[in-house]
């Protein structure tokens, strides 16, 4: 892949490139490595359609049933077309919310795996209420009475990523990025020049390391390889431990903790 | 400036611009051209008509101050958190200058307070397009969150008039997080059984649409306002096709089922008052 910033001047943009690398593991790979054969995919939002950009279902983490929801970009051209390059429509976010509500009903923890350049900006998506779908997820996830953990495994593109990231904790892979806008979009709006994306990537503070310092995420995770069984086992245990910790709280405590988590972000300078 | 300048032909004032010679010179302050029907309106007429074109009913944008005057009973608006000011949290290049400029035009991207509306007590938040196009920064999110927390504690309804270009990218991820933060505050207010009404005005887009703008119990919009998640330019770039003419107007989102009603400005205050009363909020003496 051509990389205009391959000279260490713009390390943030190198992370952006790494997060977008088509050879890296996708949500489906993580689900397979974490849940193995126990995974059962569940489809559809019960309102309009099944959005293939979001892959979701049930799986076992050791002895614990978990609802897992991932944004899937696809691993080859054919899959990428099918998955709409990991850009979900409103029905994708509504499928996710349906399954989160189901998880709440059955007291199952929810694991979200985020990898998207953003919610799809298209005519159908607007007609079916992309903004409303995301807004509803933000509201409902904030008071979901079951533990929720989100891991950013690649790109975290704006509202389309946040719609699956109102969680008790948010973790990022060391090469993942998370931003309010793509560096290209930012550069073209602010400086009328998308070639200044590397500078924008630095300014936006979008790497896992930046976000950890800003208090937006709780943990940075080493980038695993597909066959790295030990790494996935330790990730499995880490996820389980976090679920157990939060499952021990009362509903009220859990929701208060989640509210406080977001309430405090960026308020350090505010009186 | 020469007070009588407007009676002189334009070419005498600004040198000869030949193609302009036959057009009368219009001083900016006295007249305003309706962007919809091109009618020249006396500014005072337009303002007296609630900033609505007297010819075609095009709704001009209002500042937060004007909108507070439109909705709150005279002298009833008690503003909160006016001292909160956006700062350049991330050291984003050029943001300090932009903020300095914006602060000359408006205090902040949103003004929040409590007021009476036809004698009914309510929390009122009004976004201001004059401040960086109403973009949502940390202070925007904080003020709106505090407004909901205040309303929840005092069991008051909340009315928000939105106008926003979306998230404020100069505040990076912290701007995105305001979407979650405000949504959490809306949810708590809602779970307490309290009423939240949003009034979408032109334009309401991006991160504001994808958070508190679309979370009202009742969602109203002013006529012909742009209401969108992804703006038309973004979609045109993605789709490489022209969009249908009335795409993403308030009438369009009404037809698609995402808002409750399109309400002309002249009926806005009375509609809000009616809704407040129907939810049991009583007039204060």
Query: Can you give the residue ranges of every domain in chain A?
Result: 11-263
Torsion of CA A54, A187, B111, B91, to 10 degrees: 110
Name the residue among B180, B186, B215 with its Cβ closest to that of A162: B180
Checking DSSP bridges between strand B110-117 and strand B78-80, what pairing results, if any? antiparallel
| Count of domains observed in chain B | 1
| Token pair of A128 as six digits | 């079916």
CATH architecture entry for A11-263: Alpha-Beta Complex (3.90)
Q: Alpha-carbon distance A69 to A112, whole Å?
A: 5
Q: A40: exposed, middle or buried (C-beta count within 10 Å: 0-12, 13-18, 19+)?
A: exposed
Q: List the domain range (segments joined by +) for residue B177.
A: 62-278
List, for residues A113-125, the tens digit of each pLDDT value.
999 999 999 999 9
A237 C-beta neighbours (distance < 10 Å), count: 12
The answer, for B92 touching chain A at a CB cutoff of 8 Å, is yes
Six token digits for residue B51: 């900033």
Position B52 in a domain: no
**Are B174 and A259 in contact (CB < 8 Å)?**
no
CB B110 within 8 A of CB B79: no
Shortest CA gap B206–chain A (Å): 7
A112 close to B (CB below 8 A) = no
Say yes or no to pLDDT of A83 above 90: yes
Contact B173, A178 (CB under 8 A): yes
Helix (H, G, I), strand (E, B) or coil at B41: strand
**Beta carbons of B222 and B199 less than 8 angstroms apart:** yes
Q: How far is A28 from chain B (nearest CA, A)?
A: 26
Residue A269 has pLDDT above 80, yes or no: no
Q: Does B272 reside within a domain? A: yes
Nearest chain B alpha carbon to A120: B230
Give yes or no for a contact between B144 and B81, defined as CB atoms under 8 angstroms apart. no
**B117, part of any domain:** yes
| Per-residue pLDDT at B93 | 96
Phi, psi of B241 (to 5 degrees): -150, 155
Task: Please state, in angstroms and rounded to a whole number, the distance separating the CA atoms of residues A20 and A85.
Answer: 11
Query: Is residue B42 assigned to a domain?
Result: no
Chain B hits for A144, CB-CB cut-off 8 Å, are none
Most B CBs within 10 Å, among A263, A265, A266, A270, to test the B interface: A266
Report pLDDT for A176.
97
Distances from the Cα of B194 to the Cαs of A27, B30, B183, B270, in angstroms? 39, 44, 15, 20
Q: Is B192 on the interface with A (CB under 8 A)?
A: no
3-state helix/strand/coil string of A227-251: CCHHHHHHHHHHHHHHHHHHHCCCH
**Does the pLDDT of residue B169 top 80, yes or no?**
yes
Across the interface, of A163, A199, A265, the residue whose CB is closest to B181 is A265
Cβ B209–A131 below 8 Å, yes or no?
Answer: yes
Cα torsion A60, A62, A66, A71 to 10°: value is -80
Q: To 10 degrees, what angle do helices A130-142 and A90-105 make?
A: 20
Q: Do B211 and A135 lie within an 8 Å CB cutoff?
A: yes
Between these two residues, B244 and A270, which has the higher pLDDT value?
B244
Q: Residue B4: pLDDT above 80? A: no
In the prediction, which pLDDT does A215 show?
94
Q: Distance (Å, rounded) from C-alpha A270 to C-alpha B25?
A: 48
- Least trusted range by pLDDT, from A42-46, A81-85, A226-230: A226-230
| Strands A148-157 and A64-71, sheet pairing | unpaired
Q: How confident is the model at residue B8 (pLDDT cuts 50, 70, 90)?
A: very low
CB-CB neighbours of A95 under 10 Å: 28
CATH number for the domain harbouring residue B145: 3.90.226.10
Tens-digit pLDDT profile for residues B189-242: 999 999 999 999 999 999 999 999 999 999 999 999 999 999 888 888 877 778
Q: Which of residues 164-193 of A touch B (CB under 8 A)?
A: 165-166, 178-181, 186, 189-190
Q: What are phi and psi of B255, to 5 degrees?
A: -65, -35
Does residue B27 belong to any structural domain of this protein? no
Q: Is A139 on the interface with B (CB under 8 A)?
A: yes
pLDDT for B129-145, tens place per residue?
A: 999 999 999 999 999 99
Q: What are the tokens at B15?
A: 């040198």
B242 DSSP assignment: P
Q: How confident is the model at residue B20 (pLDDT cuts 50, 70, 90)?
A: very low
Tens digit of each residue's pLDDT (9 = 90 or more) over B71-95: 999 999 999 999 999 999 999 999 9
- Please tell me the predicted confidence (pLDDT) of residue B16: 41
Return the top range by mean pLDDT from A217-221, B2-6, B20-24: A217-221
Q: Which residue would you say has higher pLDDT here, A226 or B2?
A: A226
Q: Which of A126, A152, A189 is most worth mutating to test chain B (most B CB atoms within 10 A of its CB)?
A: A126
Contact (Cβ atoms closer than 8 angstroms) between residue A134 and residue A8: no
Would an 8 Å CB–CB cutoff place A149 in contact with chain B?
no
pLDDT of residue A22: 87
Supply A88's token pair: 């979900």
pLDDT at B25 over 70: no
Alpha-carbon span A124 to A120, nearest angstrom:
9
Instruction: Answer left, alpha or beta for residue B51, where phi above 0 means left and psi between -120 and 50 means alpha.
Output: left
Give B43: exposed, middle or buried? Use CB within 10 Å, 0-12, 13-18, 19+.
middle
Residue of chain B nearest A203, judged by CA positions = B92
Distances (CA, A) of B69 to A242, B62, B92, B178, B228: 51, 10, 35, 27, 27
Q: pLDDT-based confidence at B35, cuts 50/70/90?
A: very high
pLDDT given at position B14: 42
What are the tokens at A242? 């976090």
Alpha-carbon distance A132 to A140, whole Å?
12
pLDDT of residue A226: 81
Q: In this predicted structure, what is the pLDDT of residue B28?
A: 66
């Amino acid at each position: 892949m051509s990389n205009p910033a391959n000279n260490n001047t713009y390390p943030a943009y190198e992370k952006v490139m790494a997060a977008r690398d088509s050879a890296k593991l996708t949500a489906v790979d993580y689900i397979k490595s974490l849940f193995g054969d126990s995974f059962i995919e569940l489809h559809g939002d019960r309102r309009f359609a099944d959005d293939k950009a979001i892959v979701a279902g049930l799986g076992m983490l050791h002895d614990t049933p978990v609802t897992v929801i991932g944004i899937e970009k696809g691993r080859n051209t054919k899959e990428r077309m099918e998955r709409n390059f990991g850009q979900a429509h409103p029905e994708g976010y509504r499928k996710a919310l349906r399954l989160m509500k189901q998880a709440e009903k059955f007291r199952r923890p929810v694991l979200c795996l985020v990898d998207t350049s953003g919610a799809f900006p298209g005519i159908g998506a607007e007609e079916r209420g992309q903004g409303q779908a995301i807004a509803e997820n933000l509201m409902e996830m904030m008071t979901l009475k079951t533990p929720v953990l989100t891991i950013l495994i690649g790109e975290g593109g704006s509202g389309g990523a946040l719609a699956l990231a109102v969680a008790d904790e948010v973790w990022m892979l060391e090469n993942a990025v998370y931003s309010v806008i793509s560096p290209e979009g930012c550069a073209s709006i602010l400086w009328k020049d998308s070639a200044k994306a590397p500078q924008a990537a630095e300014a936006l503070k979008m790497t896992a390391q930046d976000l950890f310092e800003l208090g937006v995420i709780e943990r940075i995770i080493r980038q695993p390889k597909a066959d790295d069984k030990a790494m996935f086992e330790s990730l499995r245990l880490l996820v389980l431990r976090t679920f157990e910790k939060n499952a021990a709280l009362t509903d009220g405590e859990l929701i208060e903790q989640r509210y406080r988590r977001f309430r405090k972000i960026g308020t350090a300078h505010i009186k | 400036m020469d007070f009588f300048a407007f009676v002189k032909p334009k070419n005498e004032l600004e040198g000869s611009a030949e193609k302009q010679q036959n057009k009368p010179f219009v001083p900016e302050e006295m007249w305003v051209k309706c962007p919809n029907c091109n009618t020249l309106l006396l500014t005072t007429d337009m303002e007296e008509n609630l900033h609505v074109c007297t010819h075609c009913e095009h709704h001009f944008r209002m500042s937060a101050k004007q909108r507070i005057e439109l909705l709150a009973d005279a002298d009833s608006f008690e503003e909160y958190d006016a001292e909160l000011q956006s700062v350049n949290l991330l050291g984003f290049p050029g943001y300090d200058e932009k903020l300095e400029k914006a602060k000359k035009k408006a205090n902040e991207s949103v003004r929040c307070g409590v007021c009476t509306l036809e004698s009914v007590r309510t929390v009122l938040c009004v976004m201001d397009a004059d401040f960086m196009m109403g973009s949502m920064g940390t202070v925007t999110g904080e003020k709106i969150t505090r407004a909901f927390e205040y309303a929840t504690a005092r069991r008051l309804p909340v009315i928000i008039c939105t106008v926003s270009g979306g998230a404020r990218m100069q505040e990076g991820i912290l701007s995105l997080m305001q979407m979650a933060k405000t949504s959490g505050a809306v949810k708590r207010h809602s779970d307490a059984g309290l009423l939240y009404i949003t009034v979408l005005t032109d334009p309401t887009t991006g991160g504001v649409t994808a958070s508190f703008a679309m979370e009202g119990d009742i969602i109203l919009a002013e006529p012909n306002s742009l209401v969108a998640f992804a703006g038309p330019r973004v979609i045109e770039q993605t789709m490489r096709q022209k969009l249908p003419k009335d795409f993403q107007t308030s009438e369009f989102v009404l037809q698609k089922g995402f808002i409750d009603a399109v309400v002309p400005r002249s009926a806005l205050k009375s509609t809000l008052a009616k809704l407040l009363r129907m939810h049991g909020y009583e007039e204060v003496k």
